[in-house]
Amino acid sequence: MKKTLIAFIAFIAILSLNSCKKSSSGSTSTDTYLPNNVGTNWKYKVTTGGASSDVTYTVSTNTLVVDGITYKIITGSNGNEQYYAKVGSDYHSLIKVSGQNVHLIILKDDKNVNDTWTTTQTLTGLSIPGVPVSSATVNITYTLKEKGTTRVVEGVTYNNVIKVEAALSASAAGFPLSLGTIEYYFSKNIGIIENTANINNSTIGVSINDKYELKTYEIK
């Protein structure tokens, strides 16, 4: 179970970070916080453990339909793929954990400052040698912290910015765990311009402290 929770939190952090980097949705690039036209791309400065590198994400021509939602596939220069969709005012992302589809709603652009929403998913059929637990539930509470503000990232001032903070917690066999937060900034018609994950819990031995900052972008 410990290994499964660590893997899940790592995927969540990477997801949010990558969603920041790869911004995409199931709609057009007009009036969206995650443009999705084919060829749209973003280059990010990624800082992990004090070391920095650049990663570029590009909206591909491919899609993936899961549970009735059509996700755009965004490919990274590091070989990773991410999946994003926009349904109404909701921005979805998809990851796979232990062979199961996990849906997240990383933004609701119709919300006001201090509004919240929550996603909950239970993983079942887990099998960890020596651990008598077969399921775990992960809860993420999102809070819209800022709307219509400006943000300077890598020397560039972005307008029409929304800031969302996600607080992560998990429970297994009735044991609650506070895991940390992820903050990300969306700029209208550009995508995610910055993302910071601080996921730490000594009980399960997880420590993720990553930051993504937009350097350049090309919106098609």
**Domain coordinates in residue numbering, the chain:** 2-218
pLDDT digits (tens, 9 = 90+) for 126-171: 654 445 667 778 889 999 999 999 999 999 999 999 999 999 887 8
* Average pLDDT value over all residues in the chain: 82
CB proximity list for 68: less than 8 A, separation 6 or greater: none
CATH number listed for the domain at residues 2-218:
2.40.360
The pLDDT value recorded for residue 132 is 60
Residue 215 pLDDT greater than 80, yes or no: yes
Residues 6+ apart with CB under 8 A from 101: 66, 67, 94, 95
Q: What are phi and psi of 13, to 5 degrees?
A: -60, -45
Residue with tokens 């954990």: 97
Condensed to tens digits (0 to 9), the pLDDT of residues 75-131 reads 999 888 889 999 999 999 887 766 777 788 999 999 999 999 999 888 777 654 445
Whole-model pTM: value is 0.80
pLDDT recorded at residue 101: 77
